[in-house]
Structure 1
Amino acid sequence: MALSLHAFTLVVPDYDAAIAFYVGKVGFTLIQDTKLSEAKRWVLIAASADAACHILLARADGAEQQAAIGNQTGGRVGFFLHSDDFDADYARMMAAGVTFEETARSEPYGKVAVWRDPWGNRWDLLQLT
């Protein structure tokens, strides 16, 4: 029996704003957007259409979830977007208005730059060596 990571949840303030950012600016693919009720949707995005792992965008419901928006990993980089062409993806994301906290740098494991979404979640864009 093989296990694999299918998806993880990213709590956001609004479905459409999150789709606009992650799909429209970062370049992710919208995998599924299904209305479950008047207030709830099943929204899956992924780095590419054939990616094995997805992100479930979950609109915050209540004060506790709203408090977690943008700080789901305690301020640390919690998400890692791998690129096979770092320079091109870095330039494309910068041109689209993605906020990078630093310029690209080289580390023993590869090229990396920290970026964040509009709500404060921190990500690494990286190309491994």
Structure 2
Amino acid sequence: MQLYKNVLLLVLFSPLTFHGHSTPPNDWIRTGESYMTQWDFNQAIFFFSKAIEENPNSIEAYLHRSKAYLMINRYTEARKDYQKALTIDPKFVKSFMGDKRVKKNNSRYFSTPEYNQITY
């Protein structure tokens, strides 16, 4: 059943529809959000990545994908996405706070001077 569902989603959200139009990035994001609620983070990452392919400046897609990476302990990728969101819009607070959360949750940072400078 899960395979059928995945195939159906891939057909419905393929990069080019039968009319030759690209799938809007927000559709990819909504599908990724749906997988997040099902705790299927790898599928969510797949769809958020599709949204980024369609719109490389989508802060929303980077933030969602970083959360999915964080949920499966892929801290390096999560941090890269938060940092990318910050480069797109340096004043976007969620990007800044997410980057700090990655640092806090990643045990490699616990004993570094960088970790000790984190404030909330």
Shorter-chain-normalised TM-score: which range?
under 0.3
User: Which protein, 1 or 2, shows the higher relative CO under an 8 Å CA cutoff with sep ≥ 6?
Assistant: 1
TM-score normalised per structure 1: 0.24
Bigger Rg, which one: 2
1 or 2, which has the higher strand percentage?
A: 1
TM normalised by structure 2 equals 0.25
